[in-house]
Amino acid sequence: MSEQITCDICIIGAGSAGLSVAAGAAQMGAQTILIEANRMGGDCLNTGCVPSKSLLAAAKAANTVSRATRFGVHGGEPRVDFAAVNAYVHDVIASIAPHDSVERFVGLGCTVIQARARFIDERTIEAGGKIIRARRFVLATGSRAAIPDIPGIEDVPYFTNESIFENSVLPNHLLIVGAGPIGCEMAQAHRRLGAKVTLLDIGPILPKDDPDAVAVVRETLAEEGVDILENTTIARVENGNHGVALVIETEAGEKRLDGSHLLLAAGRKPNIENLGLEAAGVRFSGKGVEVDARLRTTNKRIFAAGDVIGGLQFTHMANYHAGIIIRNALFRLPAKSEPSPFPWVTYTDPELAQVGLNEEQARDHYGDGAQVLRAEFRDNDRARAEGTTRGFLKVVTTKRGRVLGATMVGQKAGELIAPWTLAISQGLKIGAIANLIAPYPTLSEISKRAAGSYYTPTLFSPRTRKLVRFLGLFG
């Protein structure tokens, strides 16, 4: 007989969303079961955010050494030990892993089951030989790399984000299919660490971002030696003389690109297979699990969060979902996942950050009522001191100064986007940023400069000059 367990809430998946729900629920006194078939921490810790940013940090260090001569510091070209770089990446993962570990969550009061879970009816799960009935369930099974339908792909070796960080040998020539954030980040990282890199996409790079900001990233990648092929159709993939080859279509006919390794970064797909969702009465499609504004599935006892529901697939989105679910599942509050300004960052160097509407979206929605403010990093004294003058901040507002969105490309853009997220979420007007006292010299002054430019036409207008001269008549 299988062991039968009952609980208040049962979470399937120990990635960002699942861990956040489990930690909150257990500490609030709910009987909590957490089920994970693979590694605790999910994609973010093991194959996503943490390893990718660690690899980028190593690549930035190599780039800093190679460009040190501009400061009068002569160190020569860096010698990259790629195996040591890979060890550093895994050391970072290991340093964070205890926070996501089985031991920590057991200590918080969770029952952790390391097995695959499957619904057997609308209120029951089977996992690891145990039968679990819960008042509420949470699907937080995440997503995985989508494998593009390229002829021959099943016959060649390739990396995805799930395997690229296990590679300890520097690729001689890395071919990357997919020029979204993952593709662009990995292209720059590997190029800076010494690999030849070709980046291909069926469309433009970073298609969801502001074209002006993307142009800065594109220019940087090209200058650093990444071969970028946009709007490119891949006819087939095959084993090559030195590893793998892509055959692409050009106006002159087919062209063969030989590489040593292949990385597929062409999107994600939700993990919805073999969960027994049909038995649970949960509606889903290839895009993910269907949820309402309260993140309830078609079975109102079952919630879903994170990548498995599609949409914006970020760790901070998963954490946001977790808060919505806790309020609904534990406190019976009708909390909704409201459309709100949601920031995202592509961690190339320079970084590209976005929150709210970009310029094109603002003009489509508000027409001539949208106003664009802009400030350049080249006009920021801290950026000049550090030699990081490439990039800009673009802010869109209404005519009356309500902040609609911000796009930033430049040094530490991911850190500098935060005040604009606050401004949009709180409905602040541009004056809130313009009147901010920013320490000098800091990169954060770029936000104050952009905000202040909203008032420039009025402050330095003929009318203002006349007023100043008039007031001067009175002593």
User: Among residues of the chain, what percentage have pLDDT more than 90?
Assistant: 92
Residue range 429-438: average pLDDT?
96
Indicate if the pLDDT at residue 36 is higher than 80: yes
pLDDT, residue 1, reads 63
The pLDDT value given to residue 185: 98
Say which CATH topology domain 3-40+101-145+269-329 has: FAD/NAD(P)-binding domain (3.50.50)
CATH classification of 153-266, choosing from 3.40.718.10, 3.40.1260.10, 3.50.50.60, 3.90.1210.10? 3.50.50.60
- The first and second tokens of residue 25, run together, are 């629920």
pLDDT of res. 281 = 98
How far apart CA 52 and CA 54 sit, in angstroms, is 5
> What is the DSSP track for 341-396?
---EEE-SSSEEEEEE--HHHHHHHHGGGEEEEEEEGGG-HHHHHHT----EEEEE
The burial class, CB within 10 Å (0-12 / 13-18 / 19+), for 132 is buried
The secondary structure of 62-108 as a DSSP string is HHHHHTGGGGT----S----HHHHHHHHHHHHHHHGGGGSHHHHHHH
Residue 406 in this model has a pLDDT that exceeds 80: yes
Rounded CA-CA distance 50/93 in Å is 7
Round to whole Å and give the CA distance between 289 and 272: 8
Contact by Cβ (8 Å): 414, 363: no
pLDDT (mean) for 214-226: 98
Domain ranges in the chain?
3-40+101-145+269-329, 153-266, 344-459
How many beta carbons lie within 10 A of that of residue 335, not counting itself?
Answer: 17
Rounded mean pLDDT, 389-411 = 97
In percent, the amount of the chain with pLDDT more than 70 equals 100
Query: 389 pLDDT exceeds 90?
Result: yes
Q: Do domains 3-40+101-145+269-329 and 344-459 have the same CATH topology?
A: no
Token reading at 13: 């998946």
- The CATH code that applies to domain 344-459 is 3.30.390.30
Q: State the DSSP H helix or E strand holding residue 246, giving kind and residue range, or none if neither.
A: strand 244-250
The beta-carbon contacts of 417-420 under 8 Å, at least 24 apart in sequence, are 417/343, 417/345, 417/353, 417/354, 417/355, 418/343, 419/444, 419/447, 420/355, 420/356, 420/395, 420/447
* pLDDT over threshold 90, residue 76: no
Please say if the pLDDT value at position 340 is more than 80.
Answer: no
Residues 332-358 have a mean pLDDT of 94
Prediction pTM value: 0.95
Q: What is the model's pLDDT at position 202?
A: 97
What tens digit of pLDDT does each residue of 117-142 get? 999 999 999 999 999 999 999 999 99
Q: Is 155 left (phi over 0), alpha (psi -120 to 50) or beta?
A: alpha
Averaged confidence pLDDT in the chain:
96
In angstroms, the CA 417 to CA 344 distance is: 9
The residue-averaged pLDDT of 156-165 equals 97
Q: Report the pLDDT value the prediction gives residue 241, as an integer from 0 to 100.
A: 82
392-398 sheet: strands from edge to edge = 344-346, 351-356, 403-410, 392-398, 370-376
The answer to whether the CB of 171 falls within 8 A of the CB of 153 is: no
